[in-house]
Amino acid sequence: MKNLAVAGTGYVGLVTGVCMAENGHNVTCVDIDEQKVKTMRDGISPIYEVGLEELMRKNIEAGRLHFTMDYSSAYKEADAVFIGVGTPEKEDGSANLQYVETVAKQIAESVAKDCLIVIKSTVPIGTNDKIAELINKSLVNDVKVEVASNPEFLAQGSAVKDTLEAARIVIGTESEWAENLLTEIYAPFNLPIVSVNRRSAEMVKYASNDFLALKISYMNDIANLCELVGADIQDVAEGMSYDDRIGSKFLNAGIGYGGSCFPKDTSALEYLARQYGYDLRTMQATIKINSEQKLKLYEKAKQRLETFEGIKVAVLGLTFKPGTDDLREAPSLANVPLLLEQGADIYAYDPIGVDNFKQFYSEGSHGQGNITYVDSPEDALKGAAACLIFTEWGEIKAVTPNQYKDLMQTPLVFDGRNIYNVQEMADNGVEYHSIGRPV
Ligand code: UGA
């Protein structure tokens, strides 16, 4: 059992802290937000994540999980401090390291015994080296402090499972001491450990996320071609998926990837490459395809309807994917303003994303258009002349083809997630437009 501190209680930090406690370590999570710390002490999670609150409560009760604003005490006695603060994208596409640097300085000023700083935040290649320098410059006590890279591969909606049952743990260290300590911390997880140097570990994270983003953009590119040549992207994906060199996951064409990771990490690597004078063409193409793909649904609907003026439009799903209330880079946010601008009367449904969406578009009129939030897909569909599906929530998938026919004024559906069988929709009298498949 080790004494661990975790800096930042966002997705990465909180889930790391809770899962470390679940594996027997004594963990103190640090955050600067007093209210957040108070509620976390009561076992209430600031983020929606399956299974997280149960584990929080269990480990708080067991006395292994603590929350504090007092970073100095938390870092002082820690064997290792995990940094999980955000690295948001700057306007030029680079990663903003200000939070990581602030925390690193605080750690350097607080540690009173040998300590390993473990960077879990996604940071550009070379950042671990810079942070190590910064820490050694700012150290107050005569102790050994080293920096290790330990990228995080959890996905929102399955964060706890992805951490406790990760496919691999990647650790990037520059000394045997650091490698051994981190290996010991992860030993109770009983998972494969890939031990490399710091720069390679940093690159594994970007290369993994960016490869997945590329896979999605590739499928979207092929989907657009399928529409032109009369092929069906879902059949194509199935045919590809049996080849385990390709794999069966992340082959779903749709309206592009969103979220806090792929958009940011594709831009960050492309930016980093440019700093080295290299054109990372795969990422340039991935990013371009994705931004165009996000508007596909609006464009299809616009082409078919010509105008949205006064038309009742059901919008099903707002979040960037199911299982989260996160709207960052969600395709809905790219399409809804265009619909409103064109005078659409939107009835929107999302099982948990509505409160966040209201921060962008409050209920009521916006220019020519109007938006009303409803509690079920059925309420959104009643009397609608068109329906746009942005997220494949279970609640939305449960709507049957027949219901579109019965509830809508005109059963005209634009599906950005290819939820339905094309033939079944046609058999039920629904005019169905999806991605990369015949109408
Ligand atoms: C992603 C990665 O999957 C995680 O491994 C990684 O740790 C995480 O980023 C991170 O860097 O923190 P996440 O952004 O939570 O996780 O969500 P994903 O499930 O990967 O989905 C991202 C987007 O891709 C969603 O908008 C989803 O709809 C879209 N997607 C996914 C597709 O359009 N097609 C697919 O086949 C799969």
Has residue 439 been placed in a domain? no
Has residue 438 been placed in a domain? no
pLDDT in tens, 199-227: 999 999 999 999 999 999 999 999 999 99
Q: Atom 25 in ligand 1: which residue has the minimum CA distance?
A: 257
Going by their DSSP bridges, the two strands 369-373 and 364-366 should be labelled as antiparallel
pLDDT in tens, 334-343: 999 999 999 9
Q: Atom 30 in ligand 1: which residue has the minimum CA distance?
A: 257
pLDDT at 98: 92
Has residue 347 been placed in a domain? yes
Whichever domain contains 343, its CATH number is: 3.40.50.720
Q: Atom 20 in ligand 1: which residue has the minimum CA distance?
A: 155
Is position 261 annotated as part of the catalytic site?
yes
Angle at 24 between CA 157 and CA 49, to 5 degrees: 10
pLDDT in tens, 8-42: 998 899 999 999 999 999 999 999 999 999 999 99
Task: Report whether residue 163 contacts ligand 1, using a CB cutoff of 6 Å.
Answer: no
Count structural domains, the chain. 3
Whichever domain contains 231, its CATH number is: 1.10.1040.10
Residue 179 and residue 133 in one domain? yes
Q: Which of residues 268, 292, 316 is at a domain's end?
A: 292
Regarding predicted confidence, which is higher, 187 or 89? 187
Residue 32 and residue 133 in one domain? yes
pTM here is 0.93
Has residue 161 been placed in a domain? yes
Q: What is the DSSP string of 386-436?
A: EEEE----HHHHTS-HHHHHHHSSS-EEEETT--S-HHHHHHTT-EEE-SS
Residue 249 and residue 305 in one domain? no
Task: Report whether residue 251 contacts ligand 1, using a CB cutoff of 6 Å.
Answer: yes
Q: Which of residues 165, 196, 227 is at a domain's end?
A: 196
Residue 225 and residue 112 in one domain? no
Q: Considering only 71-75, 121-125, 182-186, 262-266, which range has the smallest mean pLDDT? A: 121-125
Residue 269 and residue 374 in one domain? no
Residue 119 and residue 223 in one domain? no
Under the banding of pLDDT at 50, 70 and 90, the label for residue 93 is confident
Are 263 and 330 spatial neighbours (Cβ–Cβ below 8 Å)?
no
Q: How far apart are CA 338 and CA 46, in angstroms?
A: 31
Residue 83 and residue 131 in one domain? yes
Has residue 397 been placed in a domain? yes
Q: What is the DSSP string of 119-158?
A: E-S---TTHHHHHHHHHHHH--SS--EEEEE------TTS
Task: Report whether residue 154 contacts ligand 1, using a CB cutoff of 6 Å.
Answer: yes
Question: Long-range contacts for 282-289 (Cβ within 8 Å, ≥24 apart)?
Answer: 282/210, 282/214, 283/210, 283/214, 285/217, 286/210, 286/213, 286/214, 286/217, 287/217, 287/263, 289/217, 289/220, 289/221, 289/256
Under the banding of pLDDT at 50, 70 and 90, the label for residue 87 is confident
Q: Across residues 372-385, what is the average pLDDT?
A: 98
Q: Which of residues 175, 196, 217 is at a domain's end?
A: 196
pLDDT at 95: 80
Helix, coil or strand: residue 351: coil
Under the banding of pLDDT at 50, 70 and 90, the label for residue 329 is very high
Has residue 142 been placed in a domain? yes
Q: Across residues 82-91, what is the average pLDDT?
A: 88
Are 161 and 111 spatial neighbours (Cβ–Cβ below 8 Å)?
no
Tokens, residue 3: 């004494």
Residue 142 and residue 175 in one domain? yes
pLDDT at 157: 85
Has residue 216 been placed in a domain? yes
Where in the sequence is the domain holding 58, given as residue range(s)?
Answer: 3-196
Under the banding of pLDDT at 50, 70 and 90, the label for residue 91 is confident
Q: Atom 29 in ligand 1: which residue has the minimum CA distance?
A: 257
pLDDT at 162: 95
Task: Report whether residue 404 contacts ligand 1, using a CB cutoff of 6 Å.
Answer: no
Pocket test for ligand 1, best of 14, 158, 205, 209 (most atoms within 8 A of CB): 209
Question: Which of the 8 DSSP states describes residue 189?
Answer: G
pLDDT at 70: 96
Expressed in angstroms and rounded, the spacing between residue 155 Cα and the centre of ligand 1 is 6
Task: Report whether residue 290 contacts ligand 1, using a CB cutoff of 6 Å.
Answer: no
Has residue 279 been placed in a domain? yes
Q: Across residues 57-82, what is the average pLDDT?
A: 96
Residue 11 and residue 102 in one domain? yes
Under the banding of pLDDT at 50, 70 and 90, the label for residue 383 is very high
pLDDT at 48: 81
Under the banding of pLDDT at 50, 70 and 90, the label for residue 47 is confident
Q: How far apart are CA 59 and CA 41, in angstroms?
A: 11
Residue 364 and residue 314 in one domain? yes
Q: Across residues 50-79, what is the average pLDDT?
A: 96
Q: What number is the ipTM of this complex? A: 0.98
Residue 175 and residue 34 in one domain? yes
Residue 88 and residue 216 in one domain? no
